[in-house]
Amino acid sequence: MALQDYLGEQLLGVLASYQVQGIVHHIGVVYPRRNNQLQVFIPKGHALAVGSLVTLHLDNRTGVDELDAELRVYRTSYKGRVISAEESWATLEPVEFMLIHGTRVVEEYRAPGYAFPVDARAPAGLPVTPLQQLQPVEDKDHHNKVGVLTTLAAGQPHTTVLAFLTSQDDDVFLISMPGTFKSQVLKREARCFFTIDERAKFTFEQAIEWNYTILETRAHLVPRESPLHEQIRTAFILKNPWEAAFFMSTELEMLHLQRVAVVCSGERRPAR
């Protein structure tokens, strides 16, 4: 079956790409084709180069405001190549994707000869958070249950959908496991981006116009022995109760993403 059969004929996507001018994120309307190519409409235009690699996060959670530990929505980190580009449109062909529902892979594809680029950067670990106390939780994000983390993998960004907690200072808190791909990338490059949308509360038309926030951040570790860890755990579970079971793992990593900048869709950020 094609991605269109699971995701529909039109949905919103978060696109990330390394371009000559720097790292760029776009919020676009995505039209999956039967051959798993994607047509992407980017309202304010773009400068994506033909032949460049992009990563596009896709999921069908529009209107979903109640989630559980299985995350029962179809979602994928679509690795693609730009094959045509016009002022506000780009067409992507797939090089690799894995469509997931809950914890199950339902469709996957890898172009002949494609392998995700090897990351030669040595892991350096994550710095400990400088925070001493959790600031007031951001109430406006209570209904926004999950966001998109962009980690700066070698050759091509990687995207992951995650439950999150935010403070009024734009601090973002996540949980992960040390063996995951995103965690391994962060230990090589702590700089990352986090995109928050409000599809749980707003219509499709509103969401593409103004209901996205893209934060450039730097990741830190919140040690389990820190008093801050318990403060965040309590607030995190209150917002995302289906995540409570994950905190029983002794290997769980709690991450603090400290805001560097608020990024506009299409704004190019330096590569380093």
Q: 206 is written with which tokens?
A: 């509103």
Record the pTM. 0.92
In a domain, 209, yes or no: yes
Q: Which residues pair with 147 in a beta bridge?
A: 162
Q: 141 vs 84, which has greater pLDDT?
A: 84
Contacts of residue 240, defined as CB under 8 A and 6 or more positions apart, other chains included, come to 67, 145, 163, 164, 165
Residue 116 lies in a domain: no
For residue 70, pLDDT over 70 is answered with no
pLDDT digits (tens, 9 = 90+) for 93-139: 999 999 998 888 999 999 999 887 888 999 888 999 999 999 999 88
Judge whether 265 and 26 are in contact, CB under 8 Å.
yes
Question: Quick one: pLDDT at residue 265?
Answer: 85
Say if residue 20's pLDDT is above 80. yes
* Burial zone of 156 (CB within 10 Å; 0-12 exposed, 13-18 middle, 19+ buried): buried
**Per-residue pLDDT tens for 163-219?**
899 999 999 999 999 989 999 999 999 999 999 876 655 555 554 545 688 999 999
Nearest to 121 by CA among 188, 31, 219: 188
Domain of residue 132 covers 3-111+122-269
Number of H helices, E strands in the chain: 4, 15
Closest to 15 measured CA to CA, from 32, 30, 31, 35: 30
Q: What is the CATH number of the domain that holds 207?
A: 2.30.110.10
Query: Computed from CA positions of residues 46, 47, 50, 52, in that sequence, does the dihedral angle turn out positive or negative?
Result: negative
* Domains held by the chain: number: 1
Cβ pair 58, 75 in contact under 8 A: yes
**In-domain check, residue 117:** no
Tokens representing 110 are: 């890898």
